[in-house]
A and B are shown apart, each in its own frame.
Chain A
Amino acid sequence: MNPNAAKNLIVRNAFLCAAAIAITSCGTATFSKTGSDARIESLRSFQLAFIDEFAVPGKRFNAAAFEAKVNEGNAKFQQAIAEEKFTARRPVLNDLAAQFKADAAHLRSKASRGKVTPALASEMKKDTNKIYDHALGR
């Protein structure tokens, strides 16, 4: 083979390999980002359902059910943090976990004394949605 043709072939193959790697890594990043967003949306749904279940004015406070749900929530956040592949997203998930703990502490204090109001429940949900929107960069 002509040395020039061989050189061109090597250059062409190297270029094709680089392009293939770039395309594959872009695809993986997009896929992981979608998975990461979905995980955050799932945590949002859990947290909103938690508020719906326990921030109910006049509802008798069931401490055992409350603590079980808090433990379930904490485990979900820890799992999400451990599985997160985007290292930049981990502090965001840590903030969301801290917010869940703060919500649980406030709700425990209010619900156990029968001091939940409709405004408290709706403002908590408003805050939750805002915080998750910010976490997702919206």
Chain B
Amino acid sequence: MPSAGKTKRRKSSRKKSELDSALGRVSDESVAASMKEFQDLLAQAKGDTSELVRQNAKELEERLVLLKKRKIDKEDFDFFVENQKRDLRAFIDSQPAQAQERTEKLTLHVLEIAARVAIALI
């Protein structure tokens, strides 16, 4: 269904700009470097060939938006980040050695930076 695909794309780009604009409003200089690194890595993760890496990035982005909108709090956010890490470990271990470093960077590392970025968002 082409119309469904179009709706999905529009929704996803709306969410992206929602998070990007929220991140853009953060004026704390101490987290500026983390913010930039986070945005770059998240963009890479969202375009990765692995579905699990893309899914992880999408979930993380959605939860940052929920946090920003105060639909979940920082405790909930940290809990979900830990769940994501636990779920990803087996997947990373199953990757070929040469792919493990990149996968880890686009998943576990992104999640670790997200915890710092989240503080600046609330």
Contacts and interface: CB of A to CB of B under 8 A. Distances in A.
A117 B71 contact: yes
Given A95-B86, A109-B75, A134-B87, A119 B66 contact: yes
B76 interface: yes
Nearest to A127: B83
A102 B59 CA distance: 19
**Chain B interface helix/strand/loop/mixed:** helix
Contact of A123 (B55, B80, B91): B80
A92 to B, nearest CB: 8
Contacts of A102: 79, 82-83, 86
Contacts of B91: 134
Contact-residue bracket for chain A: 10 to 19
B72 A120 contact: yes
B18 interface: no
Contacts of B86: 95, 98-99, 102
A126 B55 CA distance: 12
B4 interface: no
A100 to B, nearest CB: 12
B83 A131 contact: yes
Nearest to A128: B83
B75 A110 contact: yes
B54 interface: no
B76 A110 contact: yes
Nearest to B70: A117
Contacts of B59: 126
B73 interface: yes
Contacts of A134: 87, 90-91
Contacts of A115: 73
Given A106-B79, A110-B75, A123-B63, 12 more contacts: A98-B86, A102-B82, A102-B83, A102-B86, A117-B71, A118-B71, A119-B71, A119-B76, A126-B59, A130-B55, A131-B83, A134-B91
9 contacts: A117-B76, A119-B76, A123-B66, A123-B72, A127-B83, A127-B87, A130-B87, A131-B83, A134-B90
Interface of A: 95, 98-99, 102, 106, 109-110, 115, 117-120, 123, 126-127, 130-131, 134
